[in-house]
Structure 1
């Protein structure tokens, strides 16, 4: 059996992004923005570089995304007190509300994409995806 794993994975990733983006409503957050907000919910006051590394994003890509999220009122930027060249990010109350809303959407998405699979099958998928990240990082 010949699997087209790379192709199928790329198509699946685009489908997941479109699903998330379609449910972001007029918030403008989308899949990439939700990733930033989720990271900040777990690591408030994070350095921009740390967020970029955690999301495997380019510095230029994260810069534009952070600016849009700041303009929308979901986060604030502040200079690092130790290193004036570094910038830290903090969620605003609106950002925390957006995280709560996005978590609900992600729960719905997880239920949708795991429907029909056993826990054992999903464990293999999760292990395989982690393997890809580890091998290619």
Structure 2
């Protein structure tokens, strides 16, 4: 069997992104890309835009644009970073906290769907493979 790993990964990412985005947006009114930021802010409250960009894997301009849309949507609030007039930290608003909490069961269900039909050992190999891909090809670090 010829392994077309790049094609398969790219296709899987596209299908998963579309599936997750349509379901999450329909259920909670927030795109899945923004939910990813909410999860990152929940784990790293008060993180700067640059720190969140690194966590999520976006470039700084992309993170700035995404964060601005989320501020305008009332999901995040920007706070100045003491001692750095150019930097902003991000925290969730009440609406952001509610959206983050509402998204968790939706993505947990999707994870269960992804895991269905595979043994724990097989899933460990998949996880190890995906982590290796990230480590080998992430140029942002």
**TM range, normalised to the smaller chain?**
over 0.9
Partner of 1:59: 60
Partner of 2:9: 9
| Deviation of 1:46 (Å) | 0.7
Alignment of 1:111-126 (within 5 A): 111-126=112-127
| Deviation of 1:124 (Å) | 0.2
Matched, 1:25 2:9: no
Q: Deviations over 1:54-79 (max 9, x none)?
A: 11101121111111111111100111
Partner Cα distance (1:58, 1:28) in 2: 25
Contact 1:29 1:69 (C-alpha < 8 Å) held by counterparts: no
List structure 1 runs of 4+ shifted beyond 6 angstroms: none
For residue 42 of structure 2, give the secondary structure of its aligned residue in structure 1: helix
Q: Deviations over 1:84-121 (max 9, x none)?
A: 11110000111111111111111011011111011100
Partner Cα distance (2:19, 2:109) in 1: 11
The two structures have a TM-score, normalised by structure 1, of 0.95
Partner of 1:34: 35
Contact 2:47 2:89 (C-alpha < 8 Å) held by counterparts: yes
Structure 2's unaligned 5+ residue stretches are none
Name the Cα RMSD after superposition.
1.3
For residue 78 of structure 1, give the secondary structure of its aligned residue in structure 2: strand
| Deviation of 1:6 (Å) | 0.5
Contact 1:33 1:69 (C-alpha < 8 Å) held by counterparts: yes
